Amino acid sequence: MSKLVRGFRDVFGADADALSALEAAARKIFALYGVKELRIPTVELKELFVKSTGDSTDIVQKEMYAFEDAGGRMIALRPEGTPGVARAYMENNFAQVAPLQSFFYIGNMFRAERPQAGRYREFEQIGAEFLGNASPAADAQAILLLKDIVKAFGVNNYKVKINSLGCSVCRPAYRQQLIDFLSSSKDTLCERCQERLERNPLRVLDCKIDGERFRQTAPKQQLCPACVEHYEEVKALLKGKIDFEEDSSLVRGLDYYTRTVFEFQAGNTAQNAIAGGGRYDTLIKSMGGADVPAIGWALGAERTVAARGPVAEKPSKKVFVISMDKSCNEVAFNLMQDLRSGGIITEGGLFDKSIKAQMKQADKAAASYAVIIGSSELESNTAVIKDLASGEQKSYPLAQAVETIRNF
């Protein structure tokens, strides 16, 4: 009863601080790009993910937390954010408000995959979606937005891969080429890839078991003129602004991608993607909406934190307020609030404890200074400020305590 469910975790301490720092960095960059927040629900109808993410994907076939609720509906915990954003775009008639919309989301996703180091069944994603813009500039902007967030957070050792998957004009021929190529090795494919072969052969190239065997020798996508023009303009817009490499084997793991796809990778492990995304021009129409071009990406928060590694944080100035007598409690309490209003991290309030116990707690809290109010301080309207590192202490006018500590 008191144990965690396998694959889930409590997040606290340095891990919680790092995730908060990443979220804060992302919000600042989103604001610079004019991208607005959209908070999508954790639970959606299961059908939403089957129709959008694709029934041949690992997410839908074996990783989704889906169940029947009390009302007899088949619902699912969201395994990714894009379908929810697309649904919200249609259901709230965002297109009628403005043809072009851009949103970001920050939230937890759920996938029932086997837990591994750095991979949990509940994990955080930060994502961005640009809807209504078919221009290659939207592709470039989405990639550079992601780069700016990764850079702002302090991840420097990463590489970017891009590719084009073509469109409904040139994809069918490539799909058949892949089927023909892979069919001769069908008996050697894993069970999942044998099922994928006819439905979505590109997914074989993304398979963790078979993908590596075929990526280099498989037929390459021959783009139609329109896709070539789009892809070349994306690369031209990115040139000089971000280092990237083209990877014709990059397909990503979702069925809805068209044209541009990209991935940010860090580290040398097989699971080295910290973020990725692509264009999905047909998704909203396939969900029953209008013909709306779109592009988006998702960043794995935990993987991005791991890619940055530990950071020596600048110690924050923290104060611990101590009351030496019950008659001093109200003044000490008011001082705590004044310090916080002045932007100073403040703890205290253990006024029912002995002076020794309060000082001991100040040390445990890693406070920089203790502010002590006793009966003599109450009479003289002063406060003793003690430097807990050096042990030096001095009395200051109570009214100047906040400004004095701020200037230390």
Model confidence at 62: pLDDT above 80: no
What does 258-312 look like in DSSP terms, one character per residue? EEEEEEEE-SSSSS-EEEEEEE-TTHHHHTTS----EEEEEEEHHHHHHHH----
CB within 8 A of 338, min separation 6: which ones?
401, 402
Tens-place pLDDT, residues 305-358? 999 988 776 767 899 999 999 999 999 999 999 999 999 999 999 999 999 999
Alpha carbons 374 and 226: distance in angstroms, whole number: 79
**Cβ atoms 219, 181 nearer than 8 A:** yes
Tens-place pLDDT, residues 93-104? 998 888 899 999
Which uninterrupted H or E stretch holds 152?
Answer: helix 136-153
Q: Name which of 208, 206, 197 is nearest 175 in CA terms.
A: 197
Alpha carbons 380 and 396: distance in angstroms, whole number: 10
Identify the three-state secondary structure at position 371.
strand
Alpha carbons 98 and 119: distance in angstroms, whole number: 38
Model confidence at 185: pLDDT above 90: no
What does 218-265 look like in DSSP terms, one character per residue? SPPP---HHHHHHHHHHHHHHTTTS--EE-TT---S-TT-EEEEEEEE
What percent of the chain has pLDDT above 90?
A: 68
Q: Give the model's pLDDT for residue 337.
A: 96
Identify the three-state secondary structure at position 328.
helix
Average pLDDT over residues 157-186: 90
SS3 content of the chain, % helix, strand, coil (to 5): 40, 20, 35
Band the pLDDT of 268: cuts 50, 70, 90.
low
For the chain, domains (ranges, CATH) are 13-170+221-308 (3.30.930.10), 318-406 (3.40.50.800)
The pTM (predicted TM-score) of the whole model is 0.86
Alpha carbons 88 and 97: distance in angstroms, whole number: 13
Query: Taking CA 264 as the corner, what is the angle to CA 262 and CA 265, rounded to the nearest 5 degrees?
Result: 130
Model confidence at 199: pLDDT above 80: no
Average pLDDT over residues 94-123: 87
Range of 124-138, 260-274, 304-318 with top mean pLDDT: 124-138
Q: Is the dihedral of CA 40, 45, 47, 49 positive or negative?
A: positive
* Dihedral class, residue 48 (left if φ above 0, else alpha if ψ from -120 to 50, else beta): alpha
Q: Give the model's pLDDT for residue 140.
A: 97
Model confidence at 117: pLDDT above 80: no
